[in-house]
């Protein structure tokens, strides 16, 4: 994708996500800053902030768990290199602790793919598996939304016993919702 393609995709993704009732009602959204070839999230983060939404961003801990900090605009981000892995953009300010995510009304999750059942394939580090387990333990039930390219919505992804489906996937062309078991 060219830089123009990435900008257009990011804008389309932000527009689709902002139409979600779950985000329209949210006072706090836990999100992430896209890196590499991931669909761009900065336009969405800035639009949420402009609406008065408190946006929490992750900071990777040495054990792959996630701490959280508030997003105060692109200038509040620090580029952090984590060993031999890719550099991440993390909040430069105060850390709020791993449990801060339990206050979120919606959690935007990164992923490599989502399947027809709403199962998400992550990058394999387990950081967001820990987030989802933490939400369960706290009895928190935020909307779980994955941001992807259209081609990353597939028929089936591998699944492990601890995996659970997300509520929706947002792509540049639209939103797909998944039925949750009662």
Per-residue pLDDT of the chain (182 residues; tens, 9 = 90+): 677 777 788 889 999 999 999 999 999 999 999 988 888 899 999 999 999 999 999 999 999 999 999 999 989 999 999 877 678 999 999 999 999 999 999 999 999 999 999 999 988 788 999 999 999 999 999 999 999 999 999 999 998 888 889 999 999 989 999 976 54
- Residue 63 resides in a domain: yes
**Predicted pLDDT of residue 182:** 45
Q: Does 34 appear as a known binding residue?
A: no
**Predicted pLDDT of residue 181:** 53
Q: Does 125 appear as a known binding residue?
A: yes
Q: How many domains does the chain have?
A: 1
Q: Does 90 appear as a known binding residue?
A: no
Helix (H) or strand (E) holding 174: strand 174-177
Report the alpha-carbon angle 77-1-144, nearest 5. Answer: 55
- Residue 181 resides in a domain: no
User: Which residues are 169's β-sheet partners?
Assistant: 146, 176
Q: Does 160 appear as a known binding residue?
A: no
Q: Does 130 appear as a known binding residue?
A: no
Q: Does 126 appear as a known binding residue?
A: yes
**Predicted pLDDT of residue 130:** 93
Q: Does 128 appear as a known binding residue?
A: yes
Q: Does 123 appear as a known binding residue?
A: yes
First-to-final CA distance of the chain: 40
**Predicted pLDDT of residue 86:** 73
User: What is the domain-level CATH number for residue 9?
Assistant: 3.40.50.10420
Q: Does 144 appear as a known binding residue?
A: no
Q: Does 121 appear as a known binding residue?
A: yes
- Residue 151 resides in a domain: yes
Q: What is the distance between the alpha carbons of residues 120 and 98, in angstroms, rounded to a whole number?
A: 21
- Residue 11 resides in a domain: yes
- Residue 182 resides in a domain: no
- Residue 159 resides in a domain: yes
Q: Is the sign of the CA dihedral 150, 12, 48, 94 positive or negative?
A: positive
């Amino acid at each position: 994708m060219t830089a123009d393609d990435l900008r257009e995709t990011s804008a389309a993704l932000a527009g689709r996500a902002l139409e979600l009732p779950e985000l329209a009602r949210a006072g706090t959204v836990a999100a992430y800053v896209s890196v590499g070839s991931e669909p761009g999230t900065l336009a969405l983060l800035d639009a949420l902030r402009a609406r008065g939404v408190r946006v929490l961003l992750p900071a990777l801990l040495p054990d792959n768990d996630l701490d959280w900090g508030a997003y105060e605009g692109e200038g509040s981000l620090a580029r952090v290199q984590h060993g031999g892995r890719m550099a991440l953009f993390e909040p430069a300010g105060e850390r709020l602790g791993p449990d801060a995510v339990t206050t979120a009304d919606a959690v935007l999750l990164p992923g490599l793919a989502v399947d027809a059942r709403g199962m998400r394939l992550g990058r394999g580090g387990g950081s967001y598996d820990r987030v989802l387990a933490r939400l369960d333990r706290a009895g928190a039930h935020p909307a779980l939304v994955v941001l992807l390219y259209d081609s990353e919505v597939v028929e089936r992804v591998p699944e492990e016993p601890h995996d659970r489906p997300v509520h929706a996937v947002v792509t540049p062309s639209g939103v797909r919702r998944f039925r949750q078991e009662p």
